[in-house]
Structure 1
Amino acid sequence: MPSADIDFGYSDADFRRVRQIAMAEAGISLPETKKNLVYSRLSRRIRETGYPSFNSYLDFVVTKAGEKERDKLICAITTNVTSFFREGHHFEHLHDVVLPQIARNLKAGGMGRLWSGACSTGQEAWSMAMTTMDVIPDAPSLDMKILGTDINRDVVDVGRRGVYLSQDLNAIPSTMKKKWVVEDKDEPGYSMITGEIRELPVFNILNLNSNWPIRKKFDAIFCRNVVIYFSAETREALWKRLADQLVPGGYLYVGHSERVERQDECNLTAESSTIYRKRG
C-alpha cells in the first residue's frame, strides 16, 4: 500500500482520461481549472485501493471489474453537500402549494409521486417525506410514494438506512423530529428515521444521464445543485427530460445557482428563480 505522501506522477494525459470517464459515465464536464482538485480527490482513492499510479488506477476503473470504483471516482470528484430541509423555501412551497393538490388527488382515488433526483445520502428525500406527512398524515396507506435516486450506490445505501449523526438532524423542525426521529441504540451519537414514514421513500441507484426505468410521472421533482457539473448541452437535455417526467401542472425545483434557460422548449414557466411549473 503506497504511503500517504507518495507522488503519483499525475500527468495531463491522466487528467484527460478522468475527464473522459466523468463525461461518459455521468455527463460531468471538468474544466482545466479542476485539474488540481481531481488530483487531490482521486489520490485518496488511489491510496485506499493500493494502485501505484494514476495510470494503473484508471486502467482498472474502465474495466468491468472496476464498475464500483467508477462510481467512487464520480462521487470523489463531485461534492455531496446536503442537509435536512436545505433551501427551506422549497419545502414551504411543497407544503403549501403542491401537497394540498396531491391530497385532493389521493382523496379522489388518484396517486401522488415526488422525486428527489440527486438524493445523495437521503436527507432531501426524508425531508420531502416529513413534509408530506405533515400535510397528509395517512399518506402511507394511500397511493403516495417518494423516489430518491443518486448515481452513487454508497450514498443511496445511507439514505435507505435513514441513520444519521444526531447533530445533523437538528435542522428538522422540532415537531417533525419528535414524531419521526429516535436515537439509535446500536450506534451512539446517531439517530434514525422511524415509524410509518419509512413506507414513503424508495431509494434506487440512477444515473440522470442514462436510461430511466421510470413509468409514472411526478407531481414534483427536486433536482438541485446537480447541473453545475454538466456541460450546457447536457444541462439543457436534462431539464427537458425532467419536465417531460412531470404531470401537467407539476413542479421542478432547482438549486439556488441554477436556471432553466430554455423554458419554452421544456414547457415550463418560472414561478420563482428556482421553482418552475409545467404548463397544461
Structure 2
Amino acid sequence: MVEGEFAFTEADFRKISAMVHGDAGIHLPEAKATLVYSRLAKRLRALGLTSFKDYCALVAGSDGLDERQKMLAALTTNVTRFFREPHHFDHLRDKVLPPLLDAARRGGRVRIWSAACSSGQEPFSIAMTILSLMPDAADRDVRVLATDIDPNMVAEGRAAEYAPHLLEGIPPDYRKKYTVAAARGGVRMADDVRALVTFNELNLIGDWPMKGKFDAIFCRNVAIYFEDDTQARLWSRFAPLVNNDGALYIGHSERIQGPAAAAFRPDGVTTYRKIEGARA
C-alpha cells in the first residue's frame, strides 16, 4: 500500500484504522495511509520489528496495550499554542466571565472544561484570562478541568514548562505576570496559574466521570477527526453538561450538528451559548 522500509499492506492499514476508530473515534480514510506509515515506522524501528503485520499482531494482543497507547499518541495531532483562536478568549473575558466571577466573589462556583487540552496551552490560556479579571481566583471556587486522551500530553500539562518560543501567543503583560524562569532555559507557568487547572486523562468517546455542569467548554479542532455520527453524539453529550447560557467553543472548521444544534445559539465565530431549558 505504501512502499518503504517496512511491508505495509491494505490489510495492515484496515486493522490499524479499525483499532484507532474503536479506541478514540478517529476516522482514518485511505488517503491517510502515508501519514500512518511515516508516524508508525518510528515505532517499528524502536521495537525492532520488520513488518506492519507483526506490529498489528502486537497492538491487537493483550501484551500490547502499552504500545497500543503509543500508537494512538503517534497518530494523534497535537497542534496547539497559547491563545490559539484569540477571539474565543476575548469572548470568554468580555462576555462569559464577568457575571460568573461576580458570583464567585459571593461564594459561587465556576467551572470550565478544556476538552482535548493537548500539552496544556489552552487551559493555561483560560486560567490567565480568569486571573486577568480576578487575581485571587485560586482562593475562590474557580477551577479549570483539562483532559486529553494522551497520557504524555497530560504529563506535559502537569509539568507546565515550555520552551521560550512556545510563549509567543501570550500577550507581553500576561507573560510578565503569569510565567517564571525554569531550569534549562525553559519557562514555567506561575503557581497561581497552575493552581486553577487540574489535568486528567479522558477519552471523549469513553465514559465521563464528571457529575457537575460547566459554565464553558472548549472542544476545539477535535471533532473534525470524527465521522458525522460520532460528532453528533459528542455535541449531544456536551449539551446537558453546559449550564444555561454557558459557552461552547469549537474549532474553526467545525459545526454543531445533530440534535444538539437545537440546544445552542450562535454568539460569535465558532462560539455558542446554551439555550435556557434546551435539551439535546
Q: Same fold (TM over 0.5)?
A: yes
The DSSP-based 3-state class of the residue aligned with 1:146 is strand
Deviates more, 1:242-251 or 1:67-76: 67-76
Distance 1:78 1:187, change over 3 A: same
Say if 2:232 and 2:260, in contact at 8 Å, map to a contact too. no
1:222 pairs, out of 218, 221, 226, with 218
Say if 1:10 and 1:39, in contact at 8 Å, map to a contact too. yes
In the other structure, the counterpart of 1:261 is 257
How many residue pairs match? The answer is 274
Residues 77-121 of structure 1: per-residue CA shift (max 9 Å, x gap): 221100000000000001111111211221232100011101001
The DSSP-based 3-state class of the residue aligned with 1:28 is coil
1:277 pairs, out of 253, 273, 278, with 273
1:8 pairs, out of 3, 6, 9, with 6
1:70 pairs, out of 63, 68, 71, with 68
In the other structure, the counterpart of 1:157 is 155
Q: Does 2:195 match 1:199?
A: yes
Q: Does 2:42 match 1:44?
A: yes
Whole-Å separation in 1 of the counterparts to 2:25 and 2:243: 26
Structure 1 unaligned spans of 5+: none
Residues 47-74 of structure 1: per-residue CA shift (max 9 Å, x gap): 1222222122222222333223222212
Q: Which amino acid aligns with 1:269?
A: R
Q: Which amino acid aligns with 1:142?
A: R
Structure 1 segment 100-119 matched on structure 2, within 5 A: 100-119=98-117
Say if 2:83 and 2:122, in contact at 8 Å, map to a contact too. yes
The DSSP-based 3-state class of the residue aligned with 1:276 is strand
Q: Which amino acid aligns with 1:205?
A: E
Structure 2 unaligned spans of 5+: none
In the other structure, the counterpart of 1:247 is 243
Q: Which amino acid aligns with 1:97?
A: K
The DSSP-based 3-state class of the residue aligned with 1:75 is helix
In the other structure, the counterpart of 1:95 is 93
Whole-Å separation in 1 of the counterparts to 2:171 and 2:139: 24
| TM-score, scaled relative to structure 2 | 0.94
Deviates more, 1:244-253 or 1:99-108: 99-108
Distance 1:40 1:266, change over 3 A: farther
Whole-Å separation in 1 of the counterparts to 2:22 and 2:190: 38
Whole-Å separation in 2 of the counterparts to 1:160 and 1:64: 29
Regions of 4+ moved over 6 Å: none
Say if 2:146 and 2:200, in contact at 8 Å, map to a contact too. yes
Q: Which amino acid aligns with 2:113?
A: W
In the other structure, the counterpart of 1:122 is 120
Say if 2:181 and 2:187, in contact at 8 Å, map to a contact too. yes
Whole-Å separation in 2 of the counterparts to 1:11 and 1:87: 39
Q: Which amino acid aligns with 1:127?
A: S
Q: Which amino acid aligns with 1:277?
A: R
| TM-score, scaled relative to structure 1 | 0.94
Distance 1:6 1:34, change over 3 A: closer
In the other structure, the counterpart of 2:184 is 187
The Cα of 1:32 is off from its aligned counterpart by 1.4
Distance 1:264 1:157, change over 3 A: closer
Distance 1:266 1:68, change over 3 A: farther
Say if 2:235 and 2:257, in contact at 8 Å, map to a contact too. no
Say if 1:225 and 1:256, in contact at 8 Å, map to a contact too. yes
Whole-Å separation in 1 of the counterparts to 2:60 and 2:162: 33
The Cα of 1:173 is off from its aligned counterpart by 0.9
The Cα of 1:264 is off from its aligned counterpart by 5.5
Once superposed, what is the RMSD of the aligned Cα atoms?
A: 1.5
Whole-Å separation in 1 of the counterparts to 2:100 and 2:49: 51
Residues 167-213 of structure 1: per-residue CA shift (max 9 Å, x gap): 111211111111111221x222x111122221100000000000001
Q: Does 2:208 match 1:212?
A: yes
